[in-house]
Amino acid sequence: MHKKLPILLAIFCFLLCTAEGFSQSKKQQELEEQRQSLMKEIQQINSLLFKTRGEKKSVLTQVEDLDKRISTTENLIKITNRQANLLTREINENLDKIDNLRAELTELKEDYAAMIKKSYKSKSEQSRVMFLFSSENFLQAYKRLQYMKQYTKHRKQQGESIKEKTELLKILNSDLLVQKEKKNQLIADNKRTKIQLTKERANQQELIASLKKDEGTFASQIRAKQKAADAIDREIEKIIAEAIAASNKAAEKDTPTGNTVTKRSSTFAMNAEATALAANFTSNKGKLPWPISKGGVVIKRYGKQQHPQLPNVTTFNSGVEIATEDGAKARAVFNGVVLEIQQIKGANLVVMVQHGNYISAYKNLTNVLVKKGDKITTKQELGTVYNNPTLGKTILKFAIYQNSKRLNPADWIYKM
């Protein structure tokens, strides 16, 4: 048992080191995926928000667009730094492994050399035969024969072990060179990104200075936009409230026939089919597809937010705003039924799709492709996202409700 303990301990240490190396490699992969995602997002921001140099944007819009690009660039720098730091740790660990392996290899070669020397001294067939014949009895001769076989086998194993460790040393050295090259590349990328970020911040500060000169006017513009957005939200919530009331009224009529319904004044009354659809929608939380056919970037997130440059101004967004390509189509995030298509002042067309007791709302559309009452499938196109010729932007405003309760779309849409 005591002889087995060191062997088990060595195996445990090997497995521990292997698991740690795998964990770090997986972490490095996750960071690289995040870095690539941020780089893609910056490309989208450049193509969707800064696509035409001749655009006559207001100072406020320019500041907001720059703020989005700067914040994403800052995140890119943070992720790249984390990658470089993790690579530094991996490089140091690799160096320790190489040092330990070289020490083991040196010791192994010395043992092997001593064994070869000893074997050479007793290599003649005559000495081997004499070694056997000098045995006092058959049992001793048998044991000596077994020893000679084991000795030969041990020599072969040591030779193979030296070969394996030499190959492993080559692999570690090769990995080390790749890691160092990767780290140098990340550091160089980060330097270029930081230089660009410094220029962006300088440009932004100039715009902010002009913004501050007439802060009252810009604050009034933001509040006016918020007021218009609130009015649109009230219209949508009114439609939902009416739909809830209608479902409960219909449920009262259906109850005597024996249909199973859920009847509450503040929530949708649902039959078995609607209940199953709602449960399916719930189970897909965080996995729903993006509500847009082409690539897009979220420029305004859900909830209450303080304006980054105007500390006395706060806004509230009932959903998310996604900047996308001209001609992009809004698409359903899940199976359902078109609850309403409404022309709301300041919002163009709004398509509302019901998924049991959930509602997904797609605002700022033109050329709607569906009609009220249509059954909708996941990713089915609903209409074209409106392109604002003044801003040169194509923005989908998207929201999710459970009954009349607003939900954060980022919790429901995959990787939003």
Per-residue model confidence (pLDDT) at position 1 = 46
Architecture of the 221-411 domain: Distorted Sandwich (2.70)
**What is the C-alpha to C-alpha distance for residues 112 and 156, in angstroms, rounded to an integer?**
10
CB atoms within 10 A of CB 273: 9
Residue 158 near residue 111, CB atoms below 8 Å: yes
Per-residue model confidence (pLDDT) at position 358 = 98
Per-residue model confidence (pLDDT) at position 14 = 47
For residue 151, give both structure tokens: 């000795």
Per-residue model confidence (pLDDT) at position 12 = 47
**What is the C-alpha to C-alpha distance for residues 74 and 71, in angstroms, rounded to an integer?**
5
**What is the C-alpha to C-alpha distance for residues 178 and 84, in angstroms, rounded to an integer?**
13
**Strand, helix or coil at 414?**
coil
Q: Where are the domains of the chain?
A: 4-213, 221-411
Residue 221 near residue 228, CB atoms below 8 Å: no
Average pLDDT by consecutive 10-residue portion of the chain (416 residues)? 45 48 73 89 84 65 86 91 86 79 75 66 56 65 66 68 74 79 88 89 82 79 88 93 92 63 73 95 97 90 86 89 94 97 84 97 95 96 92 91 96 94
Residue 412 near residue 400, CB atoms below 8 Å: yes
Is this prediction's pTM over 0.95? no
Q: Secondary structure of the chain: what % helix, strand, coil (to 5)?
A: 60, 20, 20
Q: Which residue bears the tokens 């907001």?
A: 64
326 CA to centre of own chain: 26
**What is the C-alpha to C-alpha distance for residues 136 and 138, in angstroms, rounded to an integer?**
7
